[in-house]
C-alpha cells in the first residue's frame, strides 16, 4: 500500500506569488492535516480536514487556506508569499478525526518551499 504522497517535493517561488501543495492520504484514511516545519523547529499545525470539512485551524494568517476533495486528497494554498513562509510543509493522514479510533498520524515526505 502506498503511504502519504505529497507533490511537488521541492518548490521555489518569488515573494508575492501564490503556491498550491498537494497531498494524497493513505488509502482508507479520511482525515488530512497540514503542518509547517521551519528549519530547526518542530512542526506547527496549520489545518485539519475530515470528510471535506475543516475541523481545526492553527495560528496562521488568512493567506493560508486548504480544502479536501471527495477522494480525501487535499490541497494547501498560500497566497502573497513572504520570505518567512519558506519551510517544509508536511501532510499527515489519520484514519478518522476521532483519536479513539486511531490516534496515529502518518506523514508524507513533505514539500520544501523556498521563497526568494
Q: What grid cell was written down for 109?
A: 515526505
Among 24, 68, 74, 94, binds another protein (CB under 8 A): 94
Number of residues counted as binding another protein (CB under 8 A): 32
- Residue with C-alpha cell 470539512? 53
Question: Alpha helix locations (H) across 5-53?
Answer: none
CB hemisphere CA count around 98 (13 angstroms): 2
Minimum CB separation of residue 16 from another protein in Å reads 27
Of 21-29, 30-38, 63-71, 79-87, which segment contacts another protein by CB under 8 A?
A: 30-38
Per-residue cell: 51: 470528510
Does 110 sit near another protein (CB under 8 A)? Answer: yes
State the burial class of residue 112 (Cβ atoms within 10 Å of its Cβ: 0-12, 13-18, 19+). middle
Residue with Cβ nearer another protein (92 or 115) = 92
Interface ranges with another protein (CB under 8 A)? 31, 33, 35, 40-45, 48, 50, 55-58, 88, 90, 92, 94, 97-100, 103-110, 112
Amino acid at each position: 500500500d502506498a503511504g502519504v504522497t505529497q507533490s511537488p517535493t521541492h518548490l521555489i517561488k518569488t515573494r508575492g506569488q501564490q503556491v498550491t501543495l498537494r497531498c494524497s492520504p493513505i488509502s482508507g484514511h479520511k482525515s488530512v492535516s497540514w503542518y509547517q516545519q521551519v528549519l530547526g523547529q518542530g512542526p506547527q499545525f496549520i489545518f485539519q480536514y475530515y470528510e471535506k470539512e475543516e475541523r481545526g485551524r492553527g495560528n496562521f494568517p488568512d493567506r493560508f487556506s486548504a480544502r479536501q476533495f471527495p477522494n480525501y486528497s487535499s490541497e494547501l494554498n498560500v497566497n502573497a508569499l513572504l520570505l518567512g513562509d519558506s519551510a517544509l510543509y508536511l501532510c499527515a493522514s489519520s484514519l478518522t478525526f476521532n483519536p479513539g479510533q486511531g490516534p496515529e498520524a502518518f506523514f508524507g515526505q513533505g514539500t520544501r518551499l523556498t521563497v526568494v
